[in-house]
Structure formats: C-alpha cells, structure tokens
Amino acid sequence: MDFDYNLKNIKESIVKAKQAGAVVRLGPELEVTGYGCEDHFLELDTVTHAWESLKEILVGDWTDGILCSIGMPIIKGSERYNCQVLCMNRKIIMIRPKMRLANGDSFMEFRYFKPWPQKDQLLDFQLPSEISEATAQKSAPFGYGYIQFLDAAVAAEVCKELFSRFPPHDDLGQNGVEVFLNASGSPHQLRKAIGFRLRALIGVTRSLGGVYMYSNHRGCDGGRLYYDGCSCVVVNGEVVALGSQFSLKDVEVVLAQVDLDAVAAKRGSSSSFLEEPSGKTRIPSLAVPYKLCQTFNLKMPISNPIKMTPCSPEEEIASGPACWLWDYLRRSEASGFLLPLSGAVNSSAVAAIVGSMCQLVVKEIANGDEQVKADAIRIGCYTDEQFPTDSKEFAKRIFYTVFMESENSSEAMKQQAKAMADDIGSRHLDVSVDSVVSALLSVFQTVTGKKPRNKVDGGSDAENRGLKNIQARTRMTLASTLASLLPWVHNKSGFFLVLSSSSVDEQLSGQLTKYGCSSGDINPIGSFNKKDIQAFLRWAATNLGYSSLAKVEAASQNLDAKEIVMTSEELSVLGKWRKTFRCGPVSMFQNLCHKWGSTSGLNPSEVADKVKNFFNYYSINRHKMTVLTPSYQAESYAPDDNRSDLRQFLYNTRWFRQFQKIDELASELDSNKIDNDIIIITEPSDREIPVASG
C-alpha cells in the first residue's frame, strides 16, 4: 500500500533494465500495490491509486523502446481482476487478467479477485478518463492472448497458472509464443525455491522450448510472509540468469541476452511440434509492428547456463527471517529489538537470527547499498557521517537481550545466555522476576486468603500450573516494560520490538503460556520445528561465528513425555497430516498406522494413543492460537488461526465419535494381525514384475 515507494522501485528497475540494453522488462505480480494488500483490494481507492501510478509511468519516457509488464488490480464492469498491464512506447498494448487464482493456506485471491474465464477472445477495455486524457489512448485489448511483434511472440502467464492443471504455456507454445512472462508473488518455504519453482521452469522449457522470464517479489510485504525472490531467465531447460533468494536490496534486476534462434531450432526438432495435434487451441493475438530483437552482435554476448547452488535449510533459516526482521524494523519506525534470552534452544535461535540480520546489514553497506546504509544510520542513531562497519557494534545499538531469572533458574543457563549475547554483541541484562512474582502472590493471598504452593512443596497440579504461568506472564510484562522505556533511558526515540521464540511444535501441542513468554510483537521462528532449529544452531555455531551455540543444552526431543507422549519429530508429522493433507483423527490414524508401523515399528494401539493425545492437546490449547504472536511463515502446517489454520477454537475436546472409531479400528487391527502380501516392483530387462507372497 506504499504507492510512492513502489512506484520509485518500479521506475528504478526500468531504468536499470534500459541501461543494460534490455527490450523486455518484467516485474512481480501486483507490484504497483504490493501483493499482500488483502482486504485493501476491496477498496476503490486501491485501484484508483494503482491507475495513478501507471499514468505516471506512461506519461514519462519509462516505456520508450522497452516492453514493460506491470502488475496491478483492475476493475472491469463491477469485477476485480489481478492483471498484468503490458506497456510500450507510452501506450498500453494489452491487459492480461489472471485466470488461475491462488487459494488456500496463506492465499485468498478468490476473496478479492475473479478469475478471467474467456480464452477465445480479446475484449475492448475502456481506460479511465485520467489515463485517456494523459495519453490520448481511449481503450486497450483486455483478456487472454499474446503479442506478435515483427520478430518475436510474447505472452504473459501469471504466477499459479504455471502450476495449474492445464497451464497456458502449452497452448501458447503451440501457437508460436517464444517468450513467456511470469509475474509471481511466491513466498519463502523451506526447501521450496530450487526444488519446486526452478525445477518447474526448467521442465517446462526443456519439453516445450522457449524463453521463460520469472519475476518474484522479495522481502516482507507487510504480513507474516517473506517473498524470496529467485527471479530468473530460463532458456530451453537451462537457467541463464538467477537473482538472489535473500537480500536487503529493494530493487534487483536480473538480466539475460538470449538467442531466439535456439528456441526455433529446438522446436523444429521436437515431435510435439512436428506432429502438431489437429485440435490445437487457437489463441487470440495482437500484432505490433515493432522489432524487439537485435542482429548478431559480439558486444552483446549470449548468456550462458549457470550452475545453481541451493541454500541449505539452515542457511534459509539464517537468511529468510533475518531479512524479514530488517524490513519489519525499518518500516515500523522501531528503534531495535528486545529478546527474553533464556539460553535454551528457541531463544538462542532467535538471537542468532538477529545477529545474522546485523551481519547482512553490514555486508550490504560494504557492497554500496545506500538505502540499507540510510536505514541503518537512522535506526542506530549514528552521527558525524558514521555508519555500521561491525555487526557486533551495530547489534549493541539496536538489540537488547534479557535473562529473567527466578529462584528456580539455572546458573549454567544464565551463563549460556550471557555468552550468546557476547557473541552477537547485544546489550545484555540480568533481571530477577522473584520480587514481582512475590508481589502478585501477596495480592492474591490478600484477596483470597490462600497461598498456592509448588508441586514439590505439596501443592496440587492446579497450584503448580498457576505459579508457572505467573512467572511466564511476569516475564513478558517486564519485557514489554523494558522495550518501551529502554530507548528513553538511552536518549533515543521510538521503542523496541519484543521478539517471541516459540516453535511450531510448542504451538501445535499448546506447550506455551497464553500472554506469557510466547507473546511479543513478532516471532521469527514460529513456523520452524525443533529439529530444524537444532540443525540451524549447529550450523550457526560455525558459519555465523557464534561458538557459544555449540554449548547450548539441546532440548530433549520429547517436549513433555509424561503429558503428550510424542517427540518433536512426531509432532511435525502429525501437524502436516492435520493441515497439509487435511486429515481428521480417524484418517490420520489410518495413514500413520502404515507410516509408523513400517518405519518405527509402532503397533495400532500405540499409534492410536499418539493421535488421540495430539488432538486432545491441540483442541484443549486451541484458544491460544487466537492470540498467537505473528510469526514468520515458512511451513505449510502452522497452527496460526489468524491466517493459515481457519478452524474453531472451542472444541468438545473428548472427540467422542472420532476417538471411538479409532479405538474400534485399533482393537480390530491388533487382534487380527495378518501378514499382508508383499509386492516387490522392479524394472528388470525383461519387464516382468515379480510378486512375493508370504
């Protein structure tokens, strides 16, 4: 929704593209408004401001001699469409509405837009009066089609359409389109960028032939998602240009010089083109009497295939949330971060991610990024032309860590927290919460006449739980107090953002205190599981230079064996089957009987106990998800009910029908253990399939 800033970035990218000699410039999906505007798309103002931005581009020389594909929302009739506006030489050549909308998980495009239904014609769209008056253009073609230049055919394929069941590129390729423009809004997920997106682009162009340009947002767009770039150009199954996945830069232009003769040669030898089906779909086209291509020129060498080196999951955890935190920090007008640092796995991981952010800031400044430098000077309160040159020095200015000890705190954990703070460079405080807890208990005793006791002192479970919750909520109240007043103590303006450090495992199982230590302003690790976090800590100890992480007391894989009887890894599996695969208790039990029976040797009764325990604790603690701290989203099974998990928070936690059915199935399976036939499928030279019975 920052139209001026978005417009500045669009203009900068066009200028860089033209300076490099490019004749086609592709921006990401809905770049004029931002992809994550959500219900702002339902406001007429949003569409009006988008047209205002486009007008400013059209009346200048930005599109002279270059085809620009610009993403924005457009209303036709009374319906909103997610569109790519293809402009050149100060005119709109075509408006291409999206036909396959993203829906589910973190996406709700059907709430804001309508998919374009017509594939057989281009309609005439009357342009807004302010556009007509400024450009003298009254209307533009609107719909699904391609642009036929004198020497090349170009078409748009928007984001999810690439992955749809009947992707447009198949028909477009058969109609002679050589250059595909995909404007995308694809967020970061662990292990996704190279393994999913790029493989799809490589596969499409390897079989179809062609030049595929892919442009993606990068950065925090105002919500829980981080868009991770990887803009690229792929030719005939080879990646010839690839942008960075994680960066603090506002604008990055990925450039390639391609040979369209190579596309013609590949298609000329392809059976799918030589044996063209008689029922080929004819796609509407628009002829433009203009040449895009240049003649053979040694000064403009053809881009060669590049070697892709995917980030490890540990590198993704170090970089994605760090970039997201930087965007949040600089745009929120905050003065820095404050983290309750216990010295355990989760809070240590968050501290390391903030340290990674500080390292990235210093690196980008050293590389000459003036925007990062200006933001860092403002946030760090540098004067006399000074700026960050050392990540630890920068961390000391913008990052506070606090160890909040109680009478039960471990001295080893206290020292571990201090060592971690020293590694990163944060300002560190040791604060006792005992006096605050005692004051609250004194008030409680005055009001009720009773004093609760810990379980070790003879107290009940209710007393013990209540006392633990008082400590947790006291810590968060104290953290919020420090975050609001510490800038004042140091004569700085603004406030600190309180960082939460609960993992997806704790959220799924409810192992967190509502309004307690899990609360805060934002949570960088809220969608990572414990296993990935522990792997990240081992990696960061060496690769980020935080040697103290090697001494972090790794939390047991069992979160609380006495209560929920499952490991962190099992929780991850249960979470994915519940959310990603849409399983209720019974279907989850049936699937996991196969999975865990073969891999872990669990019998049906043991699987039943785990599934029932999971759903019991999930539903008992579901109300906590309604106030869950906004988390960086990088997994598909996050339980955050504000975005990714739209289920109720009031349950009958006994699950009578479901658990009864599970018990019946488990009892039947346990009492009728049958040796199933084992079918072994191989691929020998004679193509026979041996079957072993037993």
**What are the beta bridge partners of residue 405?**
432
**Active-site position among 13, 29, 570, 636:** 29
Exposure string for 557-568, b = 16+ CB within 10 A, e = fewer: bebeeeebbbbb
C-alpha to C-alpha distance for 166 and 182, rounded to whole angstroms: 16
Side-chain half-sphere exposure of 298, counting CA atoms within 13 A: 0
CB 351, CB 426: distance < 8 Å: yes
Active-site residue flag, 570: no
Active-site residue flag, 159: yes
**What are the beta bridge partners of residue 318?**
none
SS (H, E, C) 92-113: EEEEEECCCCCEECCEEHHHHC
**What contacts 376, CB < 8 A, 6 or more positions away?**
361, 365, 382, 387, 388, 394
Q: Residue 596: which of 614, 618, 579, 582 has the closest Cα?
A: 614
Q: Residue 499: which of 399, 610, 640, 604 has the closest Cα?
A: 399
**Active-site position among 13, 31, 53, 98:** 98
**What are the beta bridge partners of residue 399?**
337
**Tokens coding 661:** 């059915």
**What contacts 177, CB < 8 A, 6 or more positions away?**
146, 153, 154, 155, 169, 210, 283
Residue 166: exposure state from Cβ atoms within 10 A (0-12, 13-18, ≥19): exposed
**Active-site position among 159, 232, 311, 517:** 159
SS (H, E, C) 166-206: CCHHHHHHHCCCCEEEEEECCECCCCCHHHHHHHHHHHHHH
Active-site residue flag, 98: yes
**Tokens coding 33:** 């408004």
**Active-site position among 186, 342, 356, 568:** 342
**What are the beta bridge partners of residue 523?**
631
Active-site residue flag, 29: yes
First CA to last CA distance, the chain: 65
Active-site residue set: 29, 98, 159, 342
